[in-house]
Structure 1
Amino acid sequence: MQNAHHRRVIDLGGEWEFQTAQPHDDPLELSGPWGKMPVPSNWHLTGLANYTGVVVFRHAFSAPPPEGDQVVYLVFHGVDYYADVWLNGSYLGHHEGYFQPFHFRLGEELGQSNVLIVRVDCPKEEPGKEWPNRKQLIKGVFSHHDCRPGGWNLEHGQEGPTGGIWNRVELMYVPQAHVLWLRLHPASVSERESLVVAQASVHSPKRQYAEVDLTIWPLSDRQQVLSQGQKLFLQPGENRLHLLLPVSSPRLWWTWDHGLSELYVARLVLRTEDGSYDHLEERFGIRELRITEDGEWRLNGRPIFVRGTNIIPTQWLGHYRPEDIVRDVQLLREANVNAVRVHAHVNRPELYDALDGAGILVWQDFAMIWGYEDSPDVARRATAQIKDMVHLLYNHPSVVVWCCLNEPFPQNRRVLGPILADAVSREDPSRHVEEVSDFNSHPYPGWYYGSYREFSGLPGAPMPTEFGAQALPCLETMTEMMPREDLWPPNWERWAYHNFQYLETFHIAHLPMPHSLDEFIAESQDYQAQLLKFAIQHYRLNKGKIKGLFQFMFMDPWPAITWSVVDYRRKPKKGYHVLAQCYQPVLPIIALEREIASPGRLLIFRVAVVNDLPQEFPDAQVKVWVTDPKGQETVLDTFRLTLPADSVVAAHRPPFPKGTCMWRIPWEAEPGSYSIHVEVSDSQGRGLGRNWQELKVVALPLPRSWHPIF
């Protein structure tokens, strides 16, 4: 429920009293001392570090009496995990789950002076018996992940808990007859006309006649108003409504690289025969995303190549501030990302608002990852919560895919996956549903096995939804992360607590054992950057076979050493700049046959340009040049080509095979690091994309006659 005319909202946030309790303690009869804690917050960060179990909160507040026929709701926007609520000694009810808003209708319990008691239980699951493979709590990455405090460790893997009243608590005053919720989705979307389908729930205290008016308008233009009215006869309790509103020449919602991310406002007004009035507003977008049988994404009928990343912005949602969200979305945009996978959790609604406005698609995972107890009870609770997720995020145009399970264990894949997918499809037939995101689309060559050069075989096709490698954050962030005595020489156990993977780093990626922390940071960031550049360029060169990709992952949710390209302090690693470069909508690519060569050798390489944009660039200009170790540039080639929309075009210079360029390294070339650059511009010389590839030239201890020249 949201604010509306004649509604009133009182924020109950602030400093609340709290004390820890045992499971059997009566929350109304606690005799211990009370501490102070801000609400909203996660208690791990506000005085109860690493505490799991029961915390009882107490808050005294004054409340004005309802005006006229108003009713009052007590609304919680997020409590992790179990909540039991009392007001002035009267028990209101119970709730399970960390991300869903929930509310209680108040009656005589509410007075002028009030005492609210909230018992919050964020339990630790029994290591070995429940955690990590037979979990009961539905919290996704917030209870089990290799990017959270302690990782998989049985003793430490549930530290840094997320318990608390982490989102707003409010009193909401509304008329007796009022709108509970409003959901909107577009149908039959085209640039000529679309249909807006509205579903609403209206509460009425009695049988009565009423009128509803649905009005929509573009957020950017209040003058273009469309409306439709309907008369109805309300029954006591909840009434479901369905309305259809045709929209001519709609302003479609696009990703930022395909157009404007237009949003609409919808207002549903309720008037009853006794003069009661209420209204509710929601934002939505007119767009349609379909995924074809071969995996191609089509947004509003147009093919779109997904340049995505996985995000877990924070471990503690109560401390993810609006300015943090703005900063994170800006970093995503500057990295040329047009889609995110919200990885195995549900985040704050404000994040989805920002992604709507930024024109970034969302693949939304449910909060289940790896192993859960295979029982009817878990299935029942998971089904209820996944439907809550759909309801919470329904109106966000950025959300285009629901995914039920991440890398599930066999018993969960077999039983739970189909149950959840069916529930989501029934709740929201308008969106694509993935039953699982599984290992076959999560290739990790160069990190968990093999060499990163295996990405040339396009593992995970047609849509890899995870791939990457770990890299250390910068020195400043590393120094903040752990005590100096654990930092260097490394206390490997402490590093593992912060998610560092020793085996993969030294025995699969084959990084050399470092001599200093600075050296280690540089080498690990170089390796991550090399892997990402190699993988992404091969995936994008094979546009068509590959429909898109989601790198793992974008940012750290806590001070950690992970696969992220932006650390916890939001300082970019080298991999961030590679991601931004390789995710340019128009990307020229140099594909070298070798990365090390000697003077006099003929270097043969391919040049191609990938165009993800929906527009053609006729007579585009391509320039290729080399920069030597002293910074001197030598132009190798220039040519023109036509870049069709949504295409990959190879440079063609007859008589050479299509896409082939050649450069003989001068005999007098000094050993060192060279870079081959390529730039593509439109017919007017405006830059579209740039790229480069490093080449190492080495001297041979041989006469020139023994040097290889091909």
Structure 2
Amino acid sequence: MQRAVGVVMTVLLLLLQGCSVMPSVQPVAITPAGSLAGTWEFLPSGSAAMLAGNAQWQAINVPANWYTQGYDHHGVAWYRLKFSAQTSSETVSTLHFGGVDYFADVWLNGKQIGSHEGYFQQFSFDVSQNLKAGENTLLVRVNSPQEKAEDYSLHKRLIKGIFSHHDTRPGGAWSDRGQERNTGGIWGEVNLRQTQQVQISPRQIRVQPTKGLEQWLVSVDLDVLGKVPQGTEWQWSVEPVGFAEEGVCNTPLQCPRRGVLHTPSLSIPITNPKRWHPHGYGDPNLYKLTVSAVQNGKVLDSFERTIGFRKVRQSPQEIWTINDQRIQLKGTNYIANQWLAEMKTEDFRRDIQLMLDAHINTVRVHAHVTAPEFYRLCDEMGLMVWQDFPLQWGYQDTPEFQQQAVLQVGDMIRQFGQYTSIIQWTLHNEPPWDADWMKWKYKDYDPQQNKVLDNQLYRAAVALEKTRPISMISSTKEHPWLGWYSGSWLDYAKPTKHATIAEFGAQALPDKATLSKILGHEAELPTTDAQWQEWAFHNFQRKETLEIAKVPQGKTLDEFITNTQQYQARLNQLAAESYRRQAYRPVGALFQFMLVEDWPSMNWGMVDFWRKPKPGYYALQRAYQPILPSLAWNKVDYKTGESVSVGLWALNDSTASYPQAQYQVKLLCGKQTLDTQTWAFELSADMHQHLHDYRVPATEAGEYRLEASILDAKGALLSTNEYRFTLQSQQ
């Protein structure tokens, strides 16, 4: 993307001009943490107004996405801040940005100090020679453009994934309005970091097993700024966070947790650490890694990072083991918010708890990289992460784009690879060369488009990553979408040939009050094209709902809401149970689509934007229970006289065993119990077994419910499930 003409001249004018609709921002006194967060000056325009001498600076919070600050804007915007600092000849000063969407050009005191491309990466500049003692002026030119009309949507230029082109964007994926409500801005923290003589930071941290689960190697590649004084030592320590290590080692000498090295490339052997386990399989034990540059007992600089010890493997059959324990990944897809700065620690923690409460053990961060705080909390709370690179559908096949993508995939792996919870990298979601449905969508569709790009990305990723599986793509074949884009929801009862199911689901409307909040007026059942278009802007898919899923519209909005929610719930539960019954034969991972709605919309979220669960959430919660009496069926409507047979399965994803367990089924019609049967069996760990077939004795027309329970040897209830079906009279 070309920079604006005359940027340097514009910058000089900006620095000299005092014209503003608000008082000039007062200098910020640097806190010990060096935060430059707060109120900045903002100019959401190009250079014409500034060159004309009538620029009108406005106020904006940093960090924030500019849309959430009231600026519905795309393209170039300027940020300015005056702040105070102290410096000396031995001070090493770096300016850190936690995230800028998308292009950034940065000036300090009239001199350009650097540029950056990409929305998710952290980046920094050495400003030791530019920073002044006293008042300083920081100027940032941010450009978050729309894709060009001729490139959108098959030949995109921006590596933003779902933030520029996706079904859940404002306007959706395929309308002319799909790029509205831009995500641009300085959305991450901005900090000034100052040290004396030398400054160190980790370029990449890797934790990998070297012998079984006992011997490990922590590798740290350091970036070093400043002049390293003679005799400097690199001291390190690895200390447990929130737990004790008694009994791990007979003596500290057998497995030291601290040491001294004389090179800034650290290879630290660790013996018998307590391992990090996913939620439900043990404790998510973490350690604090501290690295310091020390001269004559004086700490010149240091940093801390949280690390964990866990071994992850994926077999050629795509079956997963964590710490040598076989595990089926039960997941969901996740986009937290269209505007990342809106997500605070408590928001991410709430979402992760929603996942854990639904027995989700893995989350797919869908076609984007989210804020670092999310991954920190996943480490802490034991939620595994399947991490996508932000490529969604089609992109430019040019050397320039390929080079930029390779740079950014390296940034992702280096910057986020320290998070123990991340167990997988996926580099491109449904690329054109794997999505032959695009031939019906685009006249210029090339079945080889982006193949060279994806091969280059894969080679670059493999060169950096030694501890996790890497998938080049999330393939269209792994996204069945039965009962939504094709087929029937009952098709989920059929066997699959695929080990990884990366997307399945259906839309459901939120409740009426939430729907009115989304639309900004009292919600009504649409009766005109304009009303349906308003719903479509908020992601509702009318054709798929009414014509493919065949959800009854009903006579009222309340009926329609109920019908869509029941459809989503039934589909989610049927698909999840079916794939769980096929655990390791062949299914190694399954991911519902999606957990939450990422803006005020009406799409695939089981939980609405304000985090109120729909019935689909509770259906998936039931289907994902670690211990589950799963019921295998393939229809819900029968004729009287037709045989009704239900497969009774015992599923146990936990590490616990239950000798002399009981499997009980009850057949009910209304409040009347028609039949009860009980079997004794051994419920072992990691069990996925068909026990019996239950033939329903009912012969009369009516609505029936089959309840299933698993109890332990003492009769204590471990888990319940149910199947509802109807017998209709023969006509």
**TM-score, normalised relative to structure 1:** 0.90
The equivalent residue for 1:706 is none
The equivalent residue for 1:244 is 268
Alignment-mate amino acid for residue 38 of structure 1: N
Q: Distance in 2 between matches of 1:590 and 1:510?
A: 24
User: Is the contact made by 2:206 and 2:467 (CA closer than 8 Å) also made in structure 1?
Assistant: no
1:230-309 to structure 2, matched below 5 A, reads 230-232=260-262, 240-248=264-272, 250-272=273-295, 275=298, 277-309=300-332
Mean Cα deviation higher: 598-607 or 71-80: 598-607
1:449 is matched with which residue: 481, 486, 489? 486
1:525 is matched with which residue: 554, 561, 565? 565
Q: Distance in 1 between matches of 2:127 and 2:635?
A: 72
Q: Distance in 1 between matches of 2:494 and 2:645?
A: 21
Does 2:617 correspond to 1:576?
Answer: yes
SS in 2 for 1:401: strand
RMSD: 2.3
User: Is the contact made by 1:189 and 1:288 (CA closer than 8 Å) also made in structure 2?
Assistant: no
1:105 is matched with which residue: 126, 137, 141? 126
1:13 is matched with which residue: 34, 37, 60? 37
The equivalent residue for 1:317 is 340
The equivalent residue for 1:4 is none
Q: Distance in 1 between matches of 2:449 and 2:387?
A: 19
Q: Distance in 2 between matches of 1:72 and 1:672?
A: 76
| Residue 194 of structure 1: how far off its partner (Å) | 3.5
1:615-630 to structure 2, matched below 5 A, reads 615-629=656-670
2:143 is matched with which residue: 121, 125, 133? 121
Alignment-mate amino acid for residue 55 of structure 1: A
Q: Distance in 1 between matches of 2:495 and 2:230?
A: 62
Check 1:231–1:399 CA distance in 2 against 1; reply closer, same or farther (3 A cut).
closer
The equivalent residue for 1:436 is 473
Q: Distance in 2 between matches of 1:143 and 1:296?
A: 33
| Residue 594 of structure 1: how far off its partner (Å) | 5.0
| Residue 117 of structure 1: how far off its partner (Å) | 1.0
Q: Distance in 2 between matches of 1:541 and 1:153?
A: 36
Does 2:270 correspond to 1:227?
Answer: no
| Residue 483 of structure 1: how far off its partner (Å) | 4.1
Q: Distance in 2 between matches of 1:165 and 1:587?
A: 46
The equivalent residue for 1:591 is 632
| Residue 543 of structure 1: how far off its partner (Å) | 1.5
| Residue 275 of structure 1: how far off its partner (Å) | 4.5
User: Is the contact made by 1:58 and 1:118 (CA closer than 8 Å) also made in structure 2?
Assistant: yes
Percent identical across equivalent pairs?
34
**TM-score, normalised relative to structure 2:** 0.88
User: Is the contact made by 1:269 and 1:277 (CA closer than 8 Å) also made in structure 2?
Assistant: yes
SS in 2 for 1:440: helix
Alignment-mate amino acid for residue 660 of structure 1: D
| Residue 476 of structure 1: how far off its partner (Å) | 1.5
Q: Which runs of 5+ in 1 are unaligned?
A: 1-6, 234-239, 652-658, 702-710
User: Is the contact made by 1:133 and 1:371 (CA closer than 8 Å) also made in structure 2?
Assistant: yes
SS in 1 for 2:367: coil
Alignment-mate amino acid for residue 56 of structure 1: W
The equivalent residue for 1:201 is 223
Q: Distance in 1 between matches of 2:205 and 2:634?
A: 54
| Residue 124 of structure 1: how far off its partner (Å) | 1.3
User: Is the contact made by 2:493 and 2:634 (CA closer than 8 Å) also made in structure 1?
Assistant: no
Does 2:94 correspond to 1:57?
Answer: no
What's the CA shift string for 1:305-333, capped at 9, x where partnerless?
A: 11011101110001111111111011101
Q: Distance in 2 between matches of 1:121 and 1:44?
A: 14
The equivalent residue for 2:681 is 641
Mean Cα deviation higher: 304-313 or 255-264: 255-264
SS in 1 for 2:414: helix
Q: Distance in 1 between matches of 2:217 and 2:130?
A: 44
User: Is the contact made by 1:601 and 1:664 (CA closer than 8 Å) also made in structure 2?
Assistant: no
How many corresponding residue pairs? 673
User: Is the contact made by 2:215 and 2:269 (CA closer than 8 Å) also made in structure 1?
Assistant: no
The equivalent residue for 2:151 is 130
Q: Which runs of 5+ in 2 are unaligned?
A: 1-30, 247-251, 434-447
Mean Cα deviation higher: 472-481 or 136-145: 472-481
| Residue 48 of structure 1: how far off its partner (Å) | 0.8
User: Is the contact made by 1:189 and 1:300 (CA closer than 8 Å) also made in structure 2?
Assistant: no
Check 1:40–1:623 CA distance in 2 against 1; reply closer, same or farther (3 A cut).
same
1:541-556 to structure 2, matched below 5 A, reads 541-545=581-585, 546-556=587-597
Q: Distance in 2 between matches of 1:253 and 1:313?
A: 25
Check 1:229–1:163 CA distance in 2 against 1; reply closer, same or farther (3 A cut).
same
SS in 1 for 2:473: strand
| Residue 85 of structure 1: how far off its partner (Å) | 1.0
What's the CA shift string for 1:451-478, capped at 9, x where partnerless?
A: 1222233346111101111111111211
Does 2:415 correspond to 1:392?
Answer: yes
What's the CA shift string for 1:166-218, capped at 9, x where partnerless?
A: 11111111232232116131223644444434443333515633212221122
The equivalent residue for 1:74 is 95
| Residue 283 of structure 1: how far off its partner (Å) | 0.4
2:108 is matched with which residue: 87, 93, 104? 87
Does 2:502 correspond to 1:465?
Answer: yes
User: Is the contact made by 2:581 and 2:689 (CA closer than 8 Å) also made in structure 1?
Assistant: no
| Residue 632 of structure 1: how far off its partner (Å) | 4.0
User: Is the contact made by 1:210 and 1:231 (CA closer than 8 Å) also made in structure 2?
Assistant: no
Alignment-mate amino acid for residue 483 of structure 2: G
Alignment-mate amino acid for residue 680 of structure 1: I
The equivalent residue for 1:537 is 577
User: Is the contact made by 1:556 and 1:562 (CA closer than 8 Å) also made in structure 2?
Assistant: yes
The equivalent residue for 1:679 is 709
| Residue 276 of structure 1: how far off its partner (Å) | 5.1
Q: Distance in 1 between matches of 2:634 and 2:61?
A: 59
Q: Distance in 1 between matches of 2:340 and 2:53?
A: 29
Check 1:516–1:99 CA distance in 2 against 1; reply closer, same or farther (3 A cut).
same
Check 1:413–1:375 CA distance in 2 against 1; reply closer, same or farther (3 A cut).
closer
What's the CA shift string for 1:342-378, capped at 9, x where partnerless?
A: 0000000000111112211111000111010110000
Check 1:46–1:30 CA distance in 2 against 1; reply closer, same or farther (3 A cut).
farther
SS in 2 for 1:254: coil
Q: Distance in 2 between matches of 1:458 and 1:465?
A: 16
Check 1:593–1:309 CA distance in 2 against 1; reply closer, same or farther (3 A cut).
closer
